[in-house]
Each structure stands twice: as C-alpha cells, then as structure tokens.
Amino acid sequence: MPKKRAPAFMHTKPSNVHPSLQSQRVSSSSPGHQTVNERIEQLRREQAPRATPERRAEITELVTQRTIPPALRRILGGMEVDGPPPKPGSRTRNRGPPGVRVPPGPAIPSSWLQVGQHADRMRKSKRTLRVGDRSSFCALAREHDAEHKRLPHNRSLAHHSLRTLALHWEELAEYEQHFLPTLPIHHKEALLSYLTRYGAKGCLDFRSLKTLFQNEKEGASDSEDVRFLDLTGLLNKDFTLSDLSKCLKTIAGGIAELSIGTPKRKEKAAVEVAESWEDEQANDTTRNILPLQISVPMFSNLMKLSLAHPGAQSWASWTDLLALSPKLNTLTHLSLAYWPRPSTTPNAATTSMISKHSEPISLGGSHFYSDLDDDWQEAANILRRFSLNTYCLKWLDLEGCTWHRALTWDFPTSEEEWVRATSSPSPDWSAAWRQIEYLNLYQGWIPADRASLQGAPAGVVPVQLMRWLRENEDKEEIRHKLNWESGILIVNEWMEREKAARSVAYDILLQRRTGKSASWCVVDYGWEGAPTVKKKAAEAGVLAGGGG
C-alpha cells in the first residue's frame, strides 16, 4: 500500500508587530532610558549631603576598631557604645511598665483568651491575680500579713520558691536539711503558711519542724525571733499538740536536745556508798549547789498561733490543749477555727451508765442531746479553765464553730438562791479575757438563695442579709463565702446560729460595760464587713462609755 504522507506546513513570523509592544521594545533597548527604581535611587543620591572628611574618618574608625565586652569596657573605663538601631520595618513592643522586661515572643491573641480550652483557666488566673492569693490563707495569716507584710506577692520569685518548697516538702526537708535553717525568720513563718495551703496532708512532722527551726548551726536564724506559727490543718499523727508542747516548754541545751521518738529510760547512776554519814551529807550538799544545765526556752516570744482546721477529732484534743495552755500565756492572737465542741470525753457522748436503781447517767461530761437541751456546762467549764491561762489574748478566731453559746452560758435561773452557783461557769470577759478586742463568730458560709431567705421567719437578720447580698453579691472577695444551696431547713439552721452568735455578742458587750478596765470588743459575723463592724463598735463603745 502506498505510504501516507503528512502535509508539511511552513510557520513564518509575522512581519507586523503591535505598536505598544514595538514602543516598549525600542524604549527598553535604548541606552539612555532609566526605570522608576533607578530614577528614585539617583534622586536620593543627589539630594543626600556629601560626606565631609571628618565624617568619613569617624565612620572608618568605628568600622575598623575592635569591640570590647561591656564588663571589660567598664573596668577599663571606655566609652559606652550605643546599641545598633532597630531594623527598618520592625515594631517595638511596650506592653509592660517602664523598666520591666516583657516576655519574648508576640502577644497572646485576644481570641485565645475569649474562646478555647484555656479560656476558663486564663480568666481564673486573672481573677486570682486581681483578688490575691492571700484570701486562701487562714484569717490569722491575713491579719499577720496586714501588720508585718510577711506573705510575698503572688507573682514574685519568693512566692514560687515557697510554693515549690511546700509542694515537695517531704523530699526537700530531707535533702535540704542543712540549708533550711539558714532561711530568714519571715520566710520560715511564710513557709508554714504555704504548707497549710500547698502541702500534702500530714506533710509536717516533729522532725521536719525541728530541722526548720534548729539554731545550733552557724548562720542559722534563731527560733527565739519567731512571732507567728501557722499550723492550720497541719496537726496529724506525726505532729500533735503534745509535740507542740515540747517545742514551747523550757528545755535544756536548746532545740537540739529535743528527742524525736519516745523518750528512753535513763540509766541509773552507780550508787557510791560513803564510809560515814558525814561524808554522805557533804556529797549531797555539793550536788545540790552545782547546777546541772542551763535552761534555754524555745519560741519564748511567740505571740500568734493558728490551730485552725484540726481535721480528725483525735488531733483536736481539748485535753491536750488544756495541758498546753499554761505555756500560751504570752499569746495575743489565737485561731481555733472549726474546732469541735469542748469536751474532755468526746467518745463517751453516746455512752450511758445504766443501773436498775436509777435512771441512765451519761458517762461523759456531755450527753448526745446536750445541744437540744441547751446544756453547755462542760464546754463552758473547759473554756473558763482555758481563759485563765490565756489572759493576754487580744484577737480570737472561732470561725466555723458551733458552740458559741458556751462562751457566755450560765446556769438557769432558780427561785432558791442557795441552789444557784456563785459564779458563772463560762469565761469571764471582764477579767481573764478582758483584753480581747476582736472576736470572729463567722459561721464559715452565708446563704445566698433569696427564695429560701424570703420564706424564712420575719426578723431583722433576714432583712439585713438581703440588703447585704444586693450590695456585695458581685464582689470577687465575697463570692467564696456564698452558698447557693436552696432549702428552707438550711436557711433556718443558719438563722438560729446567727441569732445565737448575736446573743453571745450582746452578753459579752454587757459584761464589758460593767467592767471598768475592760476594752471594747469588736464582734465580726463575716458578712457585715470588718471596717463597718469596727466603726459601729467604736461608735457604740464611745456612746456606752466602754472605752476603745
């Protein structure tokens, strides 16, 4: 078959060119034409002033001289060299106050702070910075910080260091035992407060407390300078009130002589038999004249003590506290927040002694229904014994306690005068506790359910509480006190305790009016505001002639 032939076409360039393309081609090929950028650079060179010989010499010297490190330049007394100017087009960031170095990198986008998985955390951190971490410490720690400024700022290096020490206290108390005693006194006091907030449960024991406050090593701070011990929530099986009593008593040889474990039985010295009675009498006289050891007190200047939130019933022992009270005669501030009802036999409250010849008799000092019967005799007696040893108190915190009636309880009135006791079993607020100027009877929470408050029985307290909630409900420092649980029973229980606290405050102020040397006592209920309460108390004290 014949081959298929493909036609061959000839492609020729068109001779005619578009006028616009032809003009561009001719203009670009011409040697005398300049582009826009080249023209701008030429104008800049023509307008710039010509460099003088002095300027050229200065630039040459700066370029050719060798740089010296800043530290060496200061030693040699050389001239300070200005830093290089910022690159053209770069933007400077001035987000912080002058003199404060801003964190590297760009600023956090606002969209990250409004939505996203970290939005709630960022808002919470901002709210915490605005309110302050001091609200999380106990009331006595805040009072001590307001007076002496011992708690560091929550954005400072000291805050993060103390927080790390508290989080890893069990390990650091062992590995850093040679360096912990060298801390300043105000950091030691703050460290105990940080242990109450960030430390693990039962982290403090008698050995670690001894390690922190030991002073037998060179360079360690002395324990005699300690004014405040914050033991809020730190009582446990390894550190009880008995261990605290060992720290507060007068010991021989300082804190180094304190034994951590059980005391060992001392070995009896060998008895030397004298040859005659005269020699034995001479030896006894010599032994009595020479002193054995010099006694050195520990925490001799302690003035503020917090035992709030004791935890288990076994750690909040009123028996141990009464045994410890003779060593608390120098205290001016004391916190017993959330302590149980005063009783020396708390485990016998539900136990009765049954006899076929008489009615059942309670085995303990208080029976199970003593609250309903308004029987506070044992609790008032314990508080009276405790007040006789703490006669220097000026500040008492009883937040969260349910036994306020025992502070001013008295025997029921009787027609026969010979039946009535000569004195009240409760503490005497015009004698032993006449110096107390501040008493905290805050219940620990405030009802915020307005529907339940409106259903409560009519009275002055519900009306005042409703008005206070309208004015302070949105404040950050008040929200952690509010309880939004609904229920008329819960509100009625809170109202009854609030009325009891106000009745106790009235009886205390009545005793202060009769006592000539007693100062006025400010009673804080936790929801009227401390400045308002102090102002009202001051005005009432002046009008009533109570002083203060």
State yes or no: pLDDT of 254 exceeds 60.
Answer: no
Q: Three-class SS of residue 440?
A: strand
Average pLDDT over residues 442-466: 85
pLDDT digit string (tens) for 289-301? Answer: 444 454 556 788 8
Which of 504, 371, 486 is CA-nearest to residue 436? 504
DSSP string, 353-383: EEETTEEEEESSSS-TTTTTTT--HHHHHHH
Question: Which residues, listed in sequence order, are joined to residue 353 by a DSSP beta bridge?
Answer: 361
Q: pLDDT at position 547, please?
A: 36
Token pair listed for 28: 């670009």
Bigger pLDDT: 277 or 315? 315
Contact 260, 216 (CB under 8 A): no
Instruction: Indicate the Cα dihedral angle 173, 179, 183, 188, nearest 10°.
Output: 10
Summarised one tens digit per residue, pLDDT across range 186-232 is: 999 999 999 999 998 889 999 999 888 876 555 556 778 889 999 99
Report the DSSP pairing between strands 358-362 and 304-306: unpaired
Stated as kind and residue range, the H or E segment containing 251 is strand 250-252
Average pLDDT over residues 478-482: 83
Amino acid identity at 100: V
In angstroms, the CA 227 to CA 12 distance is 107
Tell me: pLDDT of 238 over 50: yes
The whole-angstrom separation of Cα 53 and Cα 59 is 10
Q: Is the model's pLDDT at 50 over the cut of 90?
A: no
Identify which of 304, 456, 481, 463 has the alpha carbon closest to the alpha carbon of residue 395. 304
What is the chain's length?
548
Helix (H, G, I), strand (E, B) or coil at 114: helix
Out of 90-94, 157-161, 339-343, 544-548, pick the least confident: 544-548
Side chain identity, residue 66: R
Asked if residue 322 lies in contact with residue 382, where contact means CB atoms within 8 angstroms, the answer is: yes
Angstrom distance (rounded) from CA 392 to CA 327: 12
| Mean pLDDT of the region 317-326 | 92
Work out the end-to-end distance of the chain between its first and last CA atoms, rounded to an integer number of angstroms: 134
User: In this predicted model, what pLDDT tens digit does every residue of 153-175 receive, in sequence order?
Assistant: 888 899 999 999 999 999 999 99
Q: Tell me, what's the pLDDT at 250?
A: 55
Q: For the stretch 429-461, what's the b/e string if a residue is b when 16 or more beta carbons lie within 10 angstroms of its beta carbon?
A: bbebbbbbbbbbbbbebbbbbeebbeebeeeeb
β partners of residue 396 = 334, 439
Look at strands 352-355 and 438-440 and give their pairing.
unpaired
Residues 459-488 have a mean pLDDT of 83
- Residue 190 in contact with residue 151, Cβ under 8 Å? yes
Q: In which band, very low, low, confident or very high, does the pLDDT at 459 lie, cut at 50, 70 and 90?
A: confident
User: In this predicted structure, which of 137-151, 152-166, 470-484, 501-515 has the lowest mean pLDDT?
Assistant: 470-484
pLDDT of residue 548: 31
> Mind listing the pLDDT tens digit for each residue in 19-41?
555 544 444 444 567 899 998 98
Q: How far apart are CA 177 and CA 174, in angstroms?
A: 5
pLDDT-derived band at 374 (thresholds 50, 70, 90) equals confident
pLDDT digits (tens, 9 = 90+) for 399-443: 999 999 999 988 776 545 555 556 678 898 988 999 999 999 999
- Give the type of residue at 311: G
Alpha-carbon gap, residue 503 to 366, rounded angstroms: 22
Distance CA 247, CA 229 (A): 11
DSSP letter at 162 equals H
Alpha-carbon distance of 67 to 198, in angstroms, equals: 50
